[in-house]
Amino acid sequence: MNKINLRQTLIPLITIAIIWFIWFGPIRINYIENVIIAIVIIIANYIEYKGKPFSALGFQRKKFTFKNILVLAPIVALGLFAFYVFVVVPGMTKLTGVPIDYSSFEQLKGNLPACLIALGVVWATAGFGEEIIFRGYFMRQFVKFFGESKVSIAINIILFGCFFGFMHSYQGITGQLVAGFVGALLALIFYLRKYDLWFIVAVHGFFDTFALICIYYGLA
């Protein structure tokens, strides 16, 4: 285990308790809960890392480039989405015998204004929110406590991939398995990119953009 001080232990524990309460407590705030959690995490990191909350999450200024964000990330997202559509979804559906439950997106089919609003929501709550929470915070905190051995990284990716899938329970068992698998792939990309959170936020955002386009045209 890496050497850590009391502040670096207590602040994450308190932060995770707050996150847990927002997700599973009696008060439901649905669409904006991940944005609120992301703000809580930034504040917690500001305290823990003495005024450097964004670099601790993986927002690296030198990697925020046109090539990375608007060229490489969309290409990776498109490849990941193709793998999702043609391999992961059919494979998981065959395994479970149950299709993914897309009913919560039904109202977006052919509805351009709703899709444009949903596009902004998914970039804020999934692209930024989920990536700050799962990759930027949970994954980085795990590395802080347990290091970067191959076993530690493997457990890290699998553990939070499973939890990421669990948080997509509204899509049914197949949706959970698919989301967990995709979450693990995003975590792997995050690790291979040396914890470049800008890149993984962009990949996730473009992935969901492609998904929304398919939903709009009734392809999902």
- Does residue 194 lie in a domain region? yes
Q: How many structural domains does the chain have?
A: 1
**pLDDT (tens digit per residue) in 95-154:** 999 999 999 899 999 999 999 999 999 999 999 999 999 999 999 999 999 999 999 999
Residue 179, in any domain of the structure: yes
b/e per residue 84-111 (b: at least 16 CB within 10 A): beeebbeebbeebeeebbbeebeebeee
Per the prediction, the chain carries an average pLDDT of 95
Residue 188 lies in a domain: yes
pLDDT, residue 28, reads 83
b/e per residue 13-27 (b: at least 16 CB within 10 A): eebeebbeebeeeee
Model pLDDT, residue 51: 85
Q: Which parts of the chain register pLDDT below 70?
A: 1-2
177 domain-assigned: yes
What pLDDT shows up at residue 88?
A: 97
Cβ–Cβ under 8 Å, residues 198 and 60: yes
| Phi, then psi, of 36 in degrees rounded to 5 | -65, -45
pLDDT at 168: 93
Give me the domain span that covers residue 145: 61-216
Query: In this structure, is residue 133 part of a structural domain?
Result: yes
Quote the pLDDT of residue 2: 60
pLDDT of 203: 98
Specify if 40 maps to a domain: no
| 51 lies in some domain | no
17: in domain: no
Q: CA 3, CA 145: separation in Å to the nearest integer? A: 8
pTM of the model: 0.95
Closest C-alpha among 38, 53, 65 to residue 198: 65
